[in-house]
Amino acid sequence: MERTLVMIKPDGVERNLVGKVISIFEENGLKVVALKKVRLSKKQAEAFYIVHKERPFYDSLTTYMSSGPIVAMVLEGENAIKKVREIMGATDPAEAKEGTIRKLFGIDKEKNTVHGSDSPESAAKEIPFFFSEFELIAAE
Ligand code: IDP
Ligand code: MG
């Protein structure tokens, strides 16, 4: 069993897609271990995406990610990290495969509705960014 950190980004929360997005993950066998709705400050968004700080889209991305509430969750399942990345689709919705969340709901390369950890190392940093040990243990 593996765990990954997923966010429904402001464009998804704003368009009332929380239930639809979670359903897609659940239908694919992933289990919701922990879940919360929060609004990140610009500084918190910058901290979350610190690996991208040299990228040209960093300022715009972190402004966008702090522009409204998001829903953060921990999903669990066999190969959860890779599985979630497949279900999400490519970063750019225009390039995402049919049936993926980003193809179905993504607006553009930035407002692409969902985030999922890209590796076990990322998941190990991203899960505790949002959830305490207590919240993860209490869910079992
Ligand atoms: P990922 O979310 O598919 O892993 P990353 O390359 O890690 O994609 O980028 C993180 C996030 O930054 C993307 O999900 C998207 O919201 C935003 N982003 C990535 N590339 C661009 C871009 O070229 N223009 C605007 N936003 C981008
Ligand atoms: Mg990434």
Provide the residue count of the chain. Answer: 140
CATH number at 25 reads: 3.30.70.141
Q: Decide whether any atom of ligand 1 lies within 6 Å of the 103 Cβ.
A: no
Q: Ligand 2: distance of its center to the CA of 20 in Å?
A: 22
pTM of the model: 0.97
What pLDDT score was predicted for residue 16? Answer: 98
What pLDDT score was predicted for residue 139? Answer: 61
- Euclidean distance between CA atoms 133 and 128, whole angstroms: 8
Question: Would residue 80 count as lying in a domain?
Answer: yes
Q: Decide whether any atom of ligand 1 lies within 6 Å of the 119 Cβ.
A: no
> ∠45-38-36 over CA atoms, to 5°?
120
What pLDDT score was predicted for residue 82? Answer: 98
What pLDDT score was predicted for residue 140? Answer: 61
| Cβ atoms of residues 117 and 81 within 8 Å | yes
The structural domain count of the chain equals 1
Question: Which residues span the domain enclosing 85?
Answer: 2-39+72-135
What pLDDT score was predicted for residue 138? Answer: 61
Question: Would residue 66 count as lying in a domain?
Answer: no
With a cut of 70, list the residues of the chain below it in pLDDT: 138-140
Name 69's Cβ contacts closer than 8 Å, sequence gap at least 6. Answer: 10, 13, 37, 38, 39
- 115 an active-site residue? yes
Token pair for 12 = 């998804």
What pLDDT score was predicted for residue 137? Answer: 78
Question: Would residue 55 count as lying in a domain?
Answer: no
